Chain A
């Protein structure tokens, strides 16, 4: 099959351009924008975050340096599968890496240290002053962190929305950006907990104590900040009506839901301090929180992906009409594992399967180039199209 044997219909080309404009896919951008006040607030947040982090860590860092070292290394490794998984979710009309790194850094530095730690400490102390240490220890975390931390993380998305409004258009963009802010926050908090937890044996066995923190926080982290923020930030996109779908109430509901999940997740003290005695209520609380939050995230992911998948299809439809791609290949690019498996099962032989895999990857490149070219036939698009044809013939040059 040679590329561009036929022309695409004007209707599908029109739809492609509409989708590219609406989704912001491939829109050029830069984070460094000295004329945008939000850029300076972002920088201020990073500087403030580093400053407060040093203030928090420095007084005891010399005696607990190994705990800090172990924590940084272990949780950096822990972050890798998370990063890969979130990048995998981000495969449709991709949120660019520059934005993802900016979001992660906000979650890692600015949100916890510049904002949340100071608010949390103050509110917990106010609770202790007003209601006593026992009450503050039981109820304090659940009635503090969900409000301060979800807000602190969300502010990163607010700044990014002003910096790259065309790129961040949809609830899916909010979901992905929020997830990376949450991941940054979670890793940062875990390192800090590991560092603080290592004081438990007066400085002995710091490595083992950080290991314990890794196990406990690592497991808890599966249902923690990354997920809360993804839900919260997708909600913010609907609340602000960024995609023009008028689902503001749904957005508000999701933000409230993320706050509630965070609240019940942090309410362990209420149970384990024997306010509500017995293991039963505690287990029920955690099981319900996990089940409901996982159901929410699955439904949310399905909803926010639906548009994105349709857009991939619309962007590639002209290429199908041109004969560059087959409908089944576009199904794979706009679908998931199931469509990929179906296509691979429909062909026989290792060599042919390999070719199909290459065609799919080359088609992904083509989609990206079409988006970067805003739908025009640039040299890069023509080259990507030629590549699809080349790998389809088995990889020979030409």
Chain B
């Protein structure tokens, strides 16, 4: 049997010398460069385009952020809402209090707000947030002083504390809402605010105002 299917060189890596360039098979350049080009466009050019476009979604005075189930807070003015909805946004009524997120950014400071099921007290939620931070940030995390309670304009009580980590300042705040009305179970609301120390200090008053505006509108 002399004839056999071409156990071609292509599949075993042998390349004729006249088909090599710098030792590489010239025939592999087409597909390899095609793949690289597509990857550069998808993972390089598109992210660069995104970085070049600036956010225009600035908050205005009176903007209220919807965390679902009637839980809201007033956004500080002039911040960029990169994630989450205002109560006036189309589609905001789909926000579930059991899994809600909002992110506000301004001058290197980032406010991350997260709602989720939480059966315990605000103090317990704060200490859970502390645990998570300690695990993630390790020994660089330093909590400053004891947690202090914060009373909202609506009369609810939350807990807040400040911390330093790796040259950045941060603040945690936790609120809880019992089950009932629009809430099918108890809900926790957590604020994680972080940024360069001086900038964060400068925004302190408006962050305080924001935290005090947290409320649950009954029958929402």
A residues near B (Cβ < 8 Å) are 17, 20-21, 24, 26-30, 32-41, 45, 59-63, 114-116, 118-119, 121-123, 125-126, 128-130, 132-135, 137-138, 148, 151-152, 155, 158-159, 161-167, 199-204, 272-275, 374-377
Contact = CB atoms under 8 A, between A and B. Distances in A.
B91 A199 contact: no
Interface in B85-110: 85, 89-94, 98-99
A202 B42 contact: no
B49 interface: yes
Nearest to A21: B5
Contact of B15 (A30, A35, A200, A203): A35
Most buried by A among B23, B82, B90, B138: B90
Contact of B91 (A20, A35, A128, A274): A274
Given A128-B57, A159-B35, A133 B81 contact: yes
User: What's the interface size class on B, roughly?
Assistant: 35 or more
B203 interface: no
A35 B38 contact: no
Given A33-B13, A63-B132, A135-B91, 18 more contacts: A28-B12, A32-B13, A35-B23, A41-B35, A41-B36, A60-B136, A61-B136, A119-B43, A122-B46, A125-B82, A126-B46, A129-B57, A159-B35, A161-B31, A166-B10, A201-B117, A204-B118, A274-B93
Contacts, number: 190
A342 to B, nearest CB: 32
B128 A202 contact: yes
B28 to A, nearest CB: 4
B28 A126 contact: no
A118 B47 contact: yes
Contact of A200 (B12, B47, B94, B98): B98
Q: Top 8 closest A-B pairs, CB basis?
A: A21-B5, A29-B11, A134-B91, A37-B32, A33-B13, A63-B132, A62-B135, A122-B50
A63 B137 CA distance: 10
Nearest to A273: B91
B99 A115 contact: no
Nearest to A119: B42
A340 to B, nearest CB: 29
B44 to A, nearest CB: 8
Nearest to A168: B11
B57 A132 contact: yes
9 contacts: A20-B5, A32-B13, A35-B13, A35-B25, A38-B32, A129-B54, A158-B35, A166-B8, A202-B118
Contacts of B13: 30, 32-36
B8 A38 contact: no
A128 B82 contact: yes
Contacts of A163: 11
Contact of B46 (A35, A61, A119, A138): A119
